[in-house]
Structure 1
Amino acid sequence: MELLVTGGRGQSGRWVLDRLAADHDVTCLDRTNPGPDAGHSDVAYRALDLTDTGSVLDIVTELNPDAVVHWAAIPVAGTRPGVDVYQNNTLAAHNVLTAAGRVDAQVVQASSDGAYGFFFADETPVPDRLPIPESHPLRPEDPYGLSKVVTEEIGQTVARRDGVSVTSIRPSWIQEPGDYPCRDPDYVENLDAGAGNFWSYVDARDVAELVAAALDSPHHGHEAVNCVGPDNALGRSLPELMREQYGRLPDDCAVEGDAAAFSVAKAKRLFGWEPSHSWREASEGELESPEV
């Protein structure tokens, strides 16, 4: 396919870009282009501001892709003023997805487990269910989580209005091979550090594989899917961790052992995807990051 990938020069976007360039013709849209003799050898680059509606519409209609992977965003709360995070993420998503719908392009976009509202809540709530399904209520209290809820609503609008397939992927904390901060002593020895997302994580390679799988299996309308690793980052019994940190489990609890807190059953059903990288091997491995 002819693909447009936004944010392909970012920390997790580079893994997505590299994976897709192996099978498709890819153009990367980002704020800046790589320098001379830099960047991915199989990728074309265009620099633009994704919050500029005219620029986005111009380039998407010019290139007329089969699919758009929208991965660009300010990726976390607390790094910039909240209004900047919200405005950037929602306006960029509106521009990119609206343009994709106009050229009848399939869409896969980055959402986040931040949409559930656990991590940045003043007091992290115990989820209604474990494992947490995509149907769990979304209750963000922060601008980043709210921006992801809105981008999913934009996806639903575009899918409904333009009849294109839109998939919103909700990764948990993305780790790179050999660089797993979820295994740093300050994290592992302090339950509070990972309690906001119930010690969940996902390897960047598994994220990229889910993006590729979603592109290979278009569906009708909009679907959101969780994207987490096969276990929790502490390697301990999740029910025991929940009792130790929160004093209780939800009444609807079906997790055992060192399971992840988020269900990936929907991604398996729709796209045949399951995570294949655990911190047990990936945190110590050495693998060079893809070129950006």
Structure 2
Amino acid sequence: MSAAPEGGRVAVTGAGGGLGRVVVADLAAHGWSVLALDRTPPPGWSGDFVAVDLTDYGQVLEVLSGGTDERGPRVDAVVHLAAVPSAGLMPNAATFANNAPATYNVFQAARQAGIDNVVWASSETLLGIPFDTPPPYVPLDEEYRVRPESTYSLVKALEEEMAHHFCRWNPDLTMTGLRFSNVMSVDKYAAFPSFDADVASRQWNLWGYIDARDGAQAVRLSLQRAESGVEVFIIANADTVMSRSSADLVAEVFPGVEVRKELAPHETLLSIDKARRVLGYEPRHSWRGEVGFPPADL
């Protein structure tokens, strides 16, 4: 198949979330016709919007197939970001009952509507977060079996498995899962220098993060991926949230963990090598420049 062209029609679920609102603005700025989907509109969004309950398959099929009055035509691609966004916000069964059916409905409705380009938010949590059991090695990559440690991440594991089978059923389908690190907006960066006081405060995800603007870049590049089949990518920033060196952090907190390469001083421990190689992804925004810290030594 060929990638959906910039300027095509794309539906974005979870458009009102912290990442979703940045994604819809970024895609619109790059020539996409965006149909925003959520319970409430993204702040400041003046484009097409439909309030939709993603746990209701009929609603999802209608909006993706262009059946909603004045909100057609059928879309060319889907970006699925909607979810209860992390563990512990709702009882476990409620998290599962929302997130798993919503993703199935999006995947299946896209299939029924003939949409063959789907990008969805997977999660760094599949890597074994919160690392009460140490990581198998660093930097972490996409090559080892997922290790969900919560109901939220269990659903993410099921989503990746579903995607494999949807692509098996339809060899022309392209599905791209983005294992986003902890999504950050600029207003959160003022707190980052305080993390140095307690190295354990951010060890739960190996001191990683992703600027929402770079998350949006990864979504846009994923929509241009031309190869059929499913691929998953870790999406993190190139640096960590710490001013201390990455090697020192690993040595102190995870002394028995294998370090598989020589680490640059502030290099991420969530490898983005695959995203760089396949998607052309390159983070452009760091917390350091926002709070007057020296640039990361990478």
Assess same fold via TM > 0.5: yes
Q: What per-residue deviation string (whole Å, max 9, x for no partner) do you get for residues 128-166 of structure 1? A: 222111112211121011111111112222222123100
Partners of 1:138 and 1:181 in 2: how far apart?
33
SS of residue matched to 2:157:
helix
* 1:90-105 alignment, distance < 5 Å: 90-105=100-115
Q: 157-166 or 227-236, which moves further after superposition?
A: 157-166
Range 245-254 or range 105-114, more displaced:
245-254
1:128: which partner in 2?
136
Q: TM-score, normalised by structure 2?
A: 0.87
> Residues 178 and 282 of structure 1 are in contact (CA less than 8 Å); yes or no, is this contact kept in structure 2?
no
Instruction: Provide the C-alpha distance between the structure 2 equivalents of 1:146 and 1:254, rounded to a whole number of angstroms.
Output: 32
- Note if contact 1:130-1:261 (Cα within 8 Å) is conserved in structure 2: yes
Check conservation: 2:18, 2:212, Cα contact below 8 A.
no
- Could you say if the C-alpha distance between residues 15 and 85 of structure 1 is closer, same or farther in structure 2, counting changes exceeding 3 Å? same
* 1:139-158 matched pairs, under 5 angstroms: 139-158=147-166
1:166 counterpart SS class: strand
Number of residue pairs aligned between Structure 1 and Structure 2 = 277
Deviation at 1:52, TM superposition (A): 0.7
**What's the CA shift for 1:12?**
1.2
Give the CA deviation at 1:269: 1.5
- Corresponding residue SS for 1:91: helix
Q: Is the 8 Å Cα contact of residues 196 and 244 (structure 2) preserved in structure 1? A: no
> Counterpart in 2 of 1:250?
258
Match of residue 112 from structure 1: 123
Correspondence 1:1-292 to 2 at 5 A:
1-22=8-29, 23-33=31-41, 39-41=44-46, 43-62=47-66, 63=72, 64-105=74-115, 106-119=117-130, 123=132, 125-162=133-170, 163-180=172-189, 183=192, 185=194, 187-250=195-258, 252-283=260-291
Deviations 1:21-70 (A, max 9, x none): 11210111111347xxx7412x2000111011111112212242100000
Q: Which runs of 4+ in 1 moved over 4 A?
A: none
Residues 182/212 of structure 1: CA separation in 2 closer, same or farther (3 Å cut): farther
Residue 178 (structure 1) shift: 3.4
User: Would the aligned equivalents of 1:128 and 1:252 in 2 still touch at CA under 8 Å?
Assistant: no
Unaligned runs of 5+ residues in structure 2 are: 1-7, 67-71, 294-298
CA–CA distance in structure 2, aligned partners of residues 188 and 14 of structure 1: 30
C-alpha distance in 2, partners of 1:149/1:274?
Answer: 26
In the alignment, structure 1 segments of 5+ residues that lack a partner are: 286-292
Structure 1 CA distance for aligned equivalents of residues 45 and 40 of structure 2: 14
Q: Measure the CA separation in 1 of the matches of 2:141 and 2:250.
A: 17
User: What does residue 3 of structure 2 align with?
Assistant: none
Q: TM-score, normalised by structure 1?
A: 0.89
Classify the secondary structure of the residue corresponding to 1:59.
helix
3-state DSSP of counterpart to 1:247: coil
Q: Report what 1:289 is aligned to.
A: none
Identity level (%): 34
- The alpha-carbon deviation at position 83 of structure 1 amounts to 1.3
User: Conserved in 2, the CA contact under 8 Å of 1:132 and 1:262?
Assistant: yes
**Could you list the per-position Cα deviations for residues 153-194 of structure 1 after superposition, in whole angstroms to 9, with x for gaps in the alignment?**
122222221231000001111111232276052x33112211
